[in-house]
Amino acid sequence: MIFKNSAPPSLRLGLVVAQGVNPLEPSGRLDIELSERLHGVLSGGLSPQEDTYRSEIRDIFRNGSYKPTGRSKPASEYLLRAASEGTFPRINTLVDCCNYLSLSSLLPISIWDVEKAGTESFEFRLGRADESYIFNASGHAIMLKDLVVGCATFPDLSSRPIINGVKDSMGTKTDDGSLVVAAAVYAPMHDGPERSLEWVCSTFVDILCGTAPSASASFQIISSDATAHF
């Protein structure tokens, strides 16, 4: 697989690729660590340093006309609110792992089904004025102008946005039958006060590899104008 980061220089990407995964295989490690993190959010909330980092994460999405506030804020903030209200979602091991790591690091994370994307080539860039996609089962669309988006790219040089740090496309969301998945962690150029980008990616790899005997996974971290090959 090929991943190109053509987004603004403020964005660092953690990229994880996994094959042979089993979304329905429980993870004892995930259950324990997620429970501990949820308890921490409920009992203490964010530290001043974490709250400052949350604002810095918003800034990487502040491009052109796009303002990461209100309903347009990063998905990690929705998860933080759900955790503080005791309504944190549990779906399957793939998505739960993604959400746990996002909650722990405060970084938004996308995960998608590579086979549904119809390509093994992807590019991250700013969304164009005419681009949008459906993000939920009710058919609601998100407009993508100036939002950092991950796109499936094709030999004819066309590209189709499928993910972003706010809401991912319904067309490539993982499900209980997903076998080949990729994830993107959207991060500023420096690590937060608690969890590094490398920790997020390596933990993702460890948990995904534990979902099936034949599962394999790896990660890379790239800055702007860089390309990763898996």
State yes or no: pLDDT of 147 exceeds 90: yes
How would residue 44 be classed by pLDDT, with cut points 50, 70 and 90?
confident
Tell me, what's the pLDDT at 228? Answer: 98
- Nearest Cα neighbor of 57 from 38, 73, 41 is 73
List, for residues 173-201, the tens digit of each pLDDT value: 999 999 999 999 999 999 999 899 999 99
Please count the structural domains in the chain. 1
How would residue 51 be classed by pLDDT, with cut points 50, 70 and 90?
very high
Question: Which CATH number covers residue 28?
Answer: 3.50.40.10
Average pLDDT, the chain: 97
In the numeric block, which tokens belong to residue 176?
């209980």
Tell me, what's the pLDDT at 45? Answer: 81
Tell me, what's the pLDDT at 117? Answer: 98
What is the arithmetic mean of pLDDT over 146-156? 98
In the numeric block, which tokens belong to residue 131?
């681009």
Q: Diameter of the chain by CA atoms?
A: 52
Question: How many Cα atoms within 13 Å fall on the side-chain side of residue 210?
Answer: 14
Tell me, what's the pLDDT at 224? Answer: 95
Supply the range of the domain harboring residue 38: 2-229
Q: What percent of the chain has pLDDT over 90?
A: 97
What is the arithmetic mean of pLDDT over 15-34? 97
The pTM (predicted TM-score) of the whole model is 0.97
- The rounded distance, in Å, linking the Cα atoms of 28 and 186 is 26
Q: Which phi and psi (to 5°) does residue 95 adopt?
A: -70, -40
Give pairs for 114-117: CB < 8 Å, separation 24+: 114/1, 114/17, 114/180, 114/181, 114/182, 115/178, 115/179, 115/180, 116/171, 116/172, 116/173, 117/152, 117/162, 117/172
List, for residues 53-73, the tens digit of each pLDDT value: 999 999 999 999 999 999 999
What is the arithmetic mean of pLDDT over 120-134? 98
